[in-house]
């Protein structure tokens, strides 16, 4: 294969590729729907974060109570703090 033949082959590679840009733009999710999905995801993250923070606070209080009184059961203290 000559150098020119090789260049033609390289130039023609892109001709068979499908241009999906227009198809993607036509089938793209509507902006308001995308925003509602994002809002829902943010709400779930906030709820999960709040729950995690509450668990850490309850665990910290339970450990403090256990340090103050070593006879206390850490699990019971955690459950007590978690419910308050």
pLDDT, tens digit, for every residue of 10-60? 555 555 555 655 555 566 655 566 677 788 888 889 888 988 999 999 999
- Gap between the Cα atoms of 81 and 58, Å rounded: 5
Compare 58 and 82 and report the one with higher pLDDT: 58
pLDDT, tens digit, for every residue of 2-11? 455 555 555 5
- Model confidence band, residue 1 (pLDDT cutoffs 50, 70, 90): very low
pLDDT at 68: 94
pLDDT at 4: 54
* Neighbouring residues of 72: CB distance < 8 A, sequence distance ≥ 6: 65, 66
Tell me whether residue 70 is exposed, middle or buried, using C-beta atoms within 10 angstroms of its C-beta: 0 to 12, 13 to 18, 19 or more: exposed
pLDDT at 65: 92
């Amino acid at each position: 294969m000559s150098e020119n033949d090789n260049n033609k082959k390289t130039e023609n590679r892109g001709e068979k590729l499908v241009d999906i840009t227009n198809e993607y733009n036509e089938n793209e999710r509507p902006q308001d729907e995308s925003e509602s999905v994002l809002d829902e995801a943010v709400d779930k993250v906030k709820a999960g974060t709040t729950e995690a923070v509450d668990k850490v606070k309850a665990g910290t209080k339970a450990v403090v109570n256990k340090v103050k009184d070593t006879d206390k059961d850490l699990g019971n203290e955690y459950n007590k703090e978690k419910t308050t």
